[in-house]
Chains A and B, each alone.
Chain A
């Protein structure tokens, strides 16, 4: 009886069990399939520590005094700004300011601030902090390079707190591209006892070991949330090793000890691409360029006949035509560079003058142009009208392989039109002394690392009175008509409130540089970076900081986290 009842019970339940089980298995599998990606995302978003290298010691953690790459990177990760230039679209986006308005004369800007924002120590954010920060930025005693960009005329700024969430800032003279300059202004707390330690960015500095590392941890009060309402950043921490040696950086990346390499050299890029092509990224031409120029300083200790060559636009243009930029890009940079047109890279979407094309390599045209200036070939040697053989030296930095190789290619290119080039590599201090103090050089090859999209950042190069006016600095008055025109155009673009008018002026500046060739632009390097497979959400771009510009949305996979 018991046995029968038990059997029937078992049978019924077995049937039930079998039926339920049959229903449950697909349901379970369906659930599993659906939840796996979710759990993976949850795992990926579940903190972790991102690791990469700073190539030098940060000189300061004070966002107002930042001037070096390492400190710039830390300021980007820790500083909260009112507006941010999107590193992909290059458009200005609201951050701590919900909206802003620039006056028609470009002398004033007012911000409507975001509510319920707190610094990393819990101190509330208000218009007072913006006013405090701007006063510090513009304090002449601090010599802030961030503040220099706002100084367009004599006088001081006025900040007017309209309400806790509204502020207006007035400048003594029009400031071109005023709103975009606030991308570099990290807001500091006026009241926090932690001073620059209280930040509004996604991360905050928690530990600094001089010469070794900087550790950042997530800001618990960071205001930004993702589309699902989750508070950013996803990462728990960022560990920044101070490592100037690129070989060591590369080795550690290969070992999986680092997650990112922010700016890769072409050699390293290609080596890594051979073994791990999925880790390397070529984001196309960056803002950086290599170029050469000739010494045109009136009292430079060089022979008079050489100064006459260097001051001739025909001569400079001919040299430019004789240089094979395609070969430089292909051989020196293994194809990770583009022939350059001028001071603005095609990567700079708004300011690049797209009517200009890179100077084509044409040795015959170069010779024809030189003949117009009285140069002639004799037994394969180019002579000037007084029969002086055309021979000059080009200095460049010792140890920078790409520039040395570029110099060797130029040496060969120019030898084809009878010009002898002596390439001299010098240690950087000696080079700097020659090109900026003693002017005891003939030609030079250097590079320009540009982080600023706005041409205002190049005022120190293009104004004839500027110290960095490479070919002939600190002129009391412009020595040539085209330099006078450039001065005028640069000042116009710096003061015009209308971006279109500014663009017109700066387009003309680019045309003058193209025609007069005071600087022979060679190539724009590609923005190369490496991102390990354990990192998700990174989207390397061409603008600084290439790999971690969206650090608050970067996640690490569970395996990478576990590995550490």
Chain B
């Protein structure tokens, strides 16, 4: 394990631990409005100051990190599972199935996902709590984000289908789901891991994009997307550099996720 990977793991672990300890570190919570102190600079009471509505920015960063770091991997899991199912199976089955799956994947990739997300979100019921809305948002991201991974997986599975050891297994009488589960799927693992790790930052950024458009996680729940909205229209950072913390955190965590991939997964 190289040093960069170790540092990346440490960073992710520390950030996760801090976000999980949010209740203790920021007991006032993310929603409490200190209306007498909106847009306050850092102080003992508010380590990163307050946002425009007087909410403690430190608390919001911790809770926002928790939400983004918990739900982005969950969305990545959903999308990778879908990709494995569609891409992996199509590659394994080959022939017309592979052609159909690729055509479907290409069609899905050509859809303007942002507009698709906005449309799907607009169709959802209005009376859901912020927590449910955030779950829905990330679930939609996961369900809509499988196509790119499926394409990679179908190619890998197609290559495996024609490999010597699969032919040998077939000649030994192994076929169908067993062959897929015992020989093909384990060999797809590096690709699956790589796709999973790659998807996490993609979903975090997707949510951030939605947040910047005001369509991300519902208020008052924070997420990295909604925290990044605070930077909207900011011309100079010199006066309030603490407002950059969510952005820096996003950059550090995203970079760490990229460094987490092993050489094998990078090659895959």
Contact = CB atoms under 8 A, between A and B. Distances in A.
Interface of A: 246-247, 250-251, 254, 267-268, 271, 274, 327, 331-332, 391-393, 395, 397-401, 404-405, 407-409, 411-412, 422-427, 430, 440-442
Nearest to B232: A401
Contacts of B52: 331-332, 405
Nearest to B124: A424
A508 B126 CA distance: 36
A331 B35 CA distance: 7
Interface in B127-144: 127-130, 133
Contacts of A251: 235
B129 A412 contact: no
Contacts of A409: 33, 53
Contact of B214 (A247, A399, A412): A399
Taking residues whose C-beta sits less than 8 angstroms from the other chain, chain B's interface range is 20 to 34
Contacts of B126: 393, 395, 422, 424, 440-442
Interface SS majority for chain A: helix
A423 B218 contact: yes
Interface in B193-215: 213-215
Contacts of B175: none
B38 interface: yes
A398 B214 contact: yes
Nearest to A425: B214
A424 B53 contact: no
B155 to A, nearest CB: 36
A264 to B, nearest CB: 12
B54 A398 contact: no
Nearest to B123: A430
Interface string B33-66: 1010010000000000000111000000000000
Interface in B224-252: 229, 232-233, 235, 239
> Which 4 pairs show the lowest CB-CB distances between chains A and B?
A398-B214, A430-B122, A393-B126, A399-B214
Contacts of B121: 426
A128 B127 CA distance: 60
Nearest to B226: A404
B115 to A, nearest CB: 9
B219 A404 contact: yes
Of A246, A405, A427, which is in contact with the most chain B CB atoms at under 10 Å from its CB? A427
Contacts of B213: 398-399, 427
B118 interface: yes
A424 B38 contact: no
20 contacts: A250-B235, A267-B233, A268-B233, A271-B235, A331-B38, A331-B53, A331-B54, A332-B53, A399-B214, A400-B214, A401-B214, A404-B214, A404-B219, A423-B218, A425-B214, A425-B215, A425-B218, A427-B215, A440-B126, A442-B127
B130 A422 contact: yes
Contacts of A400: 214
Nearest to B115: A427
